[in-house]
Structure 1
């Protein structure tokens, strides 16, 4: 009874409740059968869920469950219909929702994730994400409470674990990074911890739907542009104080149109905070969101934000504690339902693949000096040589020599836009999600402000052109 199904990539997770009568001898086993027909799945009688694989993406399925007892069979009515999806879709914004917090047993995990451990986290059918037709989810991942250094890798459940990282942390860090995660087997994403055990928090802020019949949620990249800097009174008039919110106009600024916009990709930077705290960004009018960026007193740190905009084209920036200077750069926007259907701007997810590591000479480049360096992206790591509007990446800076430095990532065919993507100090390893249009030569530019630093780029997907 109570059969429910959640779609994944060529798969589904089917859950049910045990029948009210088990024949007096208990359930021997269950058989889960998809319709249209596909291989059945058999599980033990003490199990009430199963992952069904071998399904066809784009085909609608229902499922029935039959229980075998020692006195006979007991069958169920069909489940809800679901449609498995490949890693292609168009963006839908959500009000941020917490779906995992190992400190509080949210998401079914109530302890730190140990080094060397992989956990599977349900992401489809939670936090406002539909149970069907989802290609990928957009997550803000935060780590906290580690007793030593380490890293996290997110990847689709059922896929090989990539040799890349999503977040780097050191002892007692609280640090966040955005991840656009393709949906894995059974609608899950997998999290691997390398190094010290750590608490992990996941907030879902949007998803990519496999319905491509409209123009809603197509991505339009921009040359990065600064739309807020409280130090200069741009966009946000004053630095927000403790528990204070300010609305920021996104539409009509920095190359974003005045209308026809459902969301945007921003880079959020906190600098000169008077105390440890956090910032959140959410669509205006949607209420207080979950944290996007955590910082300590005096720190300068950035995180990528993918967010919807409110009906007035604004987002709300909320500061949790103290007073902090806030900088916001916009790198692109998503169309709303008024747009015509098209093929440009669709999301296509990839398994994370390393295309640059200056420590090892991957990408043909050594440690970065001050100034601009061009990096080849097209044709590498699953990115096609053409037909790409923008590339989704994870950018990591490590082994920096300057006490305060930043990297900026932007298309190779424009001048340095006076924006930043990742801020770091000497000896730190910091990562930030990055999205950029490619130059006509298939490259991006990396600008290092001062000193020397090693840079790592893992490609995670792209938007079509």
Structure 2
């Protein structure tokens, strides 16, 4: 079962065209040394208030609350060598570096960052060791598992001809790649035929009538979308 994933804990990645979430050169000013700046990532229709795109960033802002974001962080002209650490808003800053930089340079790094999913407006915090400007471009995000309906198709097998009093097996069609047979439906053409046994691959039929007839076995094939 683990090969199919865990619906309670797995996340689903949604890629987007890169979009700017924030740019301190345009809003807010440089992050001061040894301080934390927080940013709004979800439920935003226009990111320009924090120096980002004047849009919802290709649906990011309309996706509701989500668990994590994939962001390219770029530090611009830091005052000295140091690092930034990105982490969920409202949590303890981890002992880790998201981008290591040198004084006066421009340095970028792509990182997956967990986000706060509480009621606060901000979801992401960034600590900087030295004063620096910071740019954040999102390329995708992870949403919580979504319930999806099964996708099913029906595949007829070869028609079985049964004379009066005869018995035989009617075999269902083969499922398309990626689908699994979950049941077989046995479809006689006349009354007086009975099902002696049914499996996901075939039907065992007996023709108790006085006339010849036909039987079609139909496989019901299903899959979980995206699997």
Q: Secondary structure at the match of 1:118?
A: strand
Q: Is the 8 A contact 2:43 2:65 kept in 1?
A: no
Q: Secondary structure at the match of 1:175?
A: strand
Q: Which residue of 2 aligns with 1:156?
A: 88
Q: 1:211 aligns with which of 145, 149, 156?
A: 145
Q: 2:19 aligns with which of 51, 73, 97?
A: 97
Q: 1:191 aligns with which of 123, 126, 132?
A: 126
Q: Which residue of 1 aligns with 2:226?
A: 339
Q: 2:68 aligns with which of 136, 141, 149?
A: 136
Q: Which residue of 1 aligns with 2:43?
A: 125
Partners of 2:95 and 2:85 in 1: CA distance:
8
Partners of 1:125 and 1:104 in 2: CA distance:
21
Partners of 2:65 and 2:125 in 1: CA distance:
19
**1:119 offset after TM fit, Å?**
1.1
Q: Which residue of 2 aligns with 1:115?
A: 33
Deviations 1:10-57 (A, max 9, x none): xxxxxxxxxxxxxxxxxxxxxxxxxxxxxxxxxxxxxxxxxxxxxxxx
Deviations 1:387-423 (A, max 9, x none): xxxxxxxxxxxxxxxxxxxxxxxxxxxxxxxxxxxxx
Distance 1:179 1:101, change over 3 A: same
Q: Secondary structure at the match of 1:141?
A: strand
Q: Which residue of 2 aligns with 1:145?
A: 77
**1:174 offset after TM fit, Å?**
0.7
Structure 1: runs of 5+ lacking an equivalent:
1-85, 216-336, 341-465
Aligned pairs for 1:197-236 within 5 A: 197-214=131-148
Higher relative contact order (Cα pairs below 8 Å, separated by 6+ residues): 2
**1:115 offset after TM fit, Å?**
1.1
The answer to whether the aligner puts 1:173 opposite 2:105 as a matched pair is yes
TM-score (normalised: structure 2): 0.52
**1:181 offset after TM fit, Å?**
1.1
Count of residues paired in the alignment: 130
**1:133 offset after TM fit, Å?**
4.0
Q: Which residue of 1 aligns with 2:50?
A: none
TM-score (normalised: structure 1): 0.26
Q: Is the 8 A contact 1:154 1:181 kept in 2?
A: yes
**1:131 offset after TM fit, Å?**
4.7
Deviations 1:44-99 (A, max 9, x none): xxxxxxxxxxxxxxxxxxxxxxxxxxxxxxxxxxxxxxxxxx98521001111101
**1:179 offset after TM fit, Å?**
1.4
Q: Is the 8 A contact 1:214 1:339 kept in 2?
A: no
Q: Which residue of 2 aligns with 1:453?
A: none
Distance 1:198 1:87, change over 3 A: farther
Large movers: runs of 4+ above 3 Å? none
Q: Is the 8 A contact 1:149 1:171 kept in 2?
A: yes
Q: Is the 8 A contact 1:87 1:183 kept in 2?
A: no
Partners of 1:211 and 1:132 in 2: CA distance:
13
Q: Is the 8 A contact 1:87 1:182 kept in 2?
A: no
**Aligned-residue RMSD, C-alpha:** 2.5
Partners of 1:87 and 1:122 in 2: CA distance:
24
**1:338 offset after TM fit, Å?**
5.1
Partners of 1:199 and 1:148 in 2: CA distance:
12
Q: Is the 8 A contact 2:76 2:133 kept in 1?
A: yes
Aligned pairs for 1:35-114 within 5 A: 89-105=11-27, 109=28, 111-114=29-32
Deviations 1:337-392 (A, max 9, x none): 9523xxxxxxxxxxxxxxxxxxxxxxxxxxxxxxxxxxxxxxxxxxxxxxxxxxxx
